[in-house]
Structure 1
């Protein structure tokens, strides 16, 4: 310690201390960790953890190796952390260079049951494990050490869960109530523009600013055109084919810097389907769309209460586009239309019935998951078939459909089928069929 540091510590001047001599004590390997490089300073985080370790082992030995994982979550096991894995490999060497491991803070190194695993591993290799919380080497033979480590493990896990819950709950609120853009690649058809200073005063003073989505003048017209084509009844495949024929750049070509993981330069069916199913094009902000819907903030999809950016399609047109099934062309050029496609479910296996053209009529069938790639199973339920016109007759009675006679029977049946299908979608209902008959159920009841 130099003269000024000695004075700062003791409050009085003193003679310089002679340089420390090796005391022949334990050889320590230091381990530390920081979870992110974006919001934490690696040098500062490493520094204070190393200081804690140096203070702990004073008079017991010296640190001869330093291992620090930066940008690694504590939930990752030690063998999967780059620096921790190197430390473990060095210890398993036939002639290990260290006698003990010292960490700067328990919660930086362990969570859940990780400590018990590493402690057992260290014991097996005759390596001590030192913690500041135990003021020295851990000894699980002591009752107070066992109680303290159990408390630290629960506290570390609780910190992870609380932090995750707070962050996800805040993001859910920011998306629903504020319509805030929360990061990620902007959808095809949009670009990022400045949305003013950050609402947090401290972040604003550092120059951080918000962003929002705005239509990209080069790609937004193509998105609008896709929805128009879908509303006109065109299939997703035909839309993709038309885009390729017109040499319209696909998302990976239009924005290669943000789509470096994409290698294809043409439109695919999946690319168009994803765009047509993205509610952001209605102007509403979304977050966590792939949630499982268990009811907590981290799993509930978020939709902004009001428009957060300019829309490329109206909400009504977007919802209508989700319900469209493109007509299927035949060899003679005529179209096969299935009015109830997607609206019928099997009462046996709960699958949607496949649209199936049979004897010149639209019908629906369910093979209960059986395909031609599988061998016949005698226990498989009999394939369910139902004609669309028979089903319409049954549904119309339940919906109290008032129809009038028409001279053109085929035209009347077609119009009636479309009217029944529209009534089902508007009421949020679907048809459940099995070998005993059919019934109507509401989507909300499922």
Structure 2
């Protein structure tokens, strides 16, 4: 028989391709000795077992080859079940192999898998559950160990140091074997160049300044942003200036208090497709893992950090009254396609669009002129368009627009009309 060999290794950083391929190929060769020979190989590198075969590069090519009558092989052999399959993947693939008349050989079945054999069906179900359990157990052990290392030891677990810190040597690795190999721990230490900027940001925040104003002042002073100050560790970022989000992230990072913090973000492991990137999301503070003791020099005291989180720099009306914007979220700028911001204009509700510009950014000479529209003028033009003689009630109009899925598309020109957008979404177009 002519066999196609399939193998897989998950991480190239922690596994040796030559070694991994060799032991899997040896197991496959031992299984088919005297019965055939391997004539072609398919080996996936850097691919998780959770990813389905159709989404793995080499496994996908192998599946496509099954339908070719001149494929050149009669059966597929793998060296170890866990390297090839996860969960119920094999159960779903067996009908595909059977449809094309190709056998699948496993060391665990000592030959071809027989989907009609109840023993083989039970075995494949057991192996699938075991493969899934191995991943879950490994993940649980690693996460539990990382939690203990942060809480009890305040250990730095890797990654980029926060802006304002740098990494320094923290002594030999606590694992004796790793220490003999020369591995050493690292810890955070204030960076002599950037630490003062972090302290300044917290001082400005405690003085009541907004994150947008702090970012603007940093840009005016010419202070390099994190991606410019340390481009080697920020290759995924191309920003050259400070942004509101960057400042807000720094002001909300509790590691500046000197305590080690872990699990501020989590990764979604539900995706089983290599075409979908594992999504990350922020955890709630109650889920953060924080060291019991101070693990590195602080750039801000815990009391000041907590006080900075309570600072609200949002503008407030001088009279203390509430400002209401009936059409919030319904007015869209025709120039750039953004939803227009609510904006109080001479004692009246209005809307503006700065076309992506914020006070954190320096003014660009080619930036389109900011668009301002007063709410009462928008309502008046809609009334003319609808041939309504009485003034429109803002709240009732807003409810009607939302119910019908309408938005108001504006620019600084002439008239009002109703049509349907190219996407099929109805839009009430107002041109001032």
Find the partner of 1:326 among 297, 313, 331: 313
Q: Which residue, 99, 102, 111 being the options, matches 2:74? A: 99
1:377 aligns with one of 387, 399, 412: 399
2:118 paired with 1:160: no
- By how many angstroms is 1:301 displaced? 1.9
- Out of 131, 139, 145, the position equivalent to 1:170 is 145
Instruction: Check whether the contact 1:53–1:132 (CA below 8 A) recurs between aligned residues.
Output: yes
Give the match's secondary structure for 2:83: helix
Looking at structure 2, the residues matched to 41 and 244 of structure 1 have their Cα atoms a distance apart, in angstroms, of: 46
SS of equivalent to 2:186 = strand
TM-score w.r.t. structure 1 length? 0.68
CA displacement at 1:89 relative to structure 2: 2.7
Q: Secondary structure at the match of 1:284?
A: coil
Q: Output the TM-score relative to the length of structure 2.
A: 0.71
CA positional deviation for 1:379: 12
Alpha-carbon shift at residue 121 of structure 1 (Å): 1.7
Distance 1:366 1:146 in 2: 65
**In the TM superposition, what is the alpha-carbon distance from 1:366 to its structure 2 partner?**
8.1
The within-5 A match list for 1:24-423 is 26-290=1-265, 300-326=287-313, 328=315, 336=316, 357=317, 360-364=318-322, 371-373=329-331, 376-377=398-399
Structure 1, residues 389-431: CA drift from partner, whole Å, max 9, x if none?
A: xxxxxxxxxxxxxxxxxxxxxxxxxxxxxxxxxxxxxxxxxxx
Considering Cα pairs closer than 8 Å and 6+ residues apart, tell me whether 1 or 2 has the greater RCO.
Answer: 2
Q: List gaps (5 residues or longer) in structure 1.
A: 1-25, 329-335, 337-356, 381-446
Question: Structure 2 vs 1, CA of residues 215 and 368 (structure 1 numbering), >3 Å: closer, same or farther?
Answer: farther
Deviation string for 1:286-340 (max 9, x for gaps)?
A: 1111359xxx9xx932111111111000011011101101153xxxxxxx4xxxx
On the 8 A contact 1:90/1:97 being kept in 2, the answer is no
CA distance in 1, matches of 2:93, 2:175: 41
Tell me by how many angstroms 1:174 deviates. Answer: 1.0
- Residues 242-265 of structure 1: per-residue CA shift (max 9 Å, x gap): 100111000010000111111110
Q: Is the contact between residue 68 and residue 83 of structure 1 (CA under 8 Å) also seen in structure 2?
A: yes
Unpaired stretches in structure 2, ≥5 consecutive residues? 268-282, 333-396, 403-432
Deviation for aligned residue 1:145? 0.4
Q: For 1:369 and 1:311, locate their aligned partners in 2 and report how far apart those are by CA, in whole Å.
A: 46
Q: Which residue of 2 aligns with 1:403?
A: none
In the TM superposition, what is the alpha-carbon distance from 1:96 to its structure 2 partner?
1.2
Q: Measure the CA separation in 1 of the matches of 2:324 and 2:54.
A: 49
* Range with greater deviation from structure 2 (199-208 or 81-90): 81-90
Secondary structure of 2:292's partner? strand
Q: What CA distance in whole angstroms lies between the structure 2 residues aligned with 1:368 and 1:129?
A: 65
Give how far 1:368 is off: 11
Secondary structure, aligned partner of 2:128:
helix
Which has the higher Rg, Structure 1 or Structure 2? 1
- Supply the RMSD in Å over aligned alpha carbons: 2.4
C-alpha distance after superposition, 1:35-59 (max 9, x if no partner): 2222222222111111110010111
Large movers: runs of 4+ above 3 Å: 363-375
Total equivalences in the alignment: 322
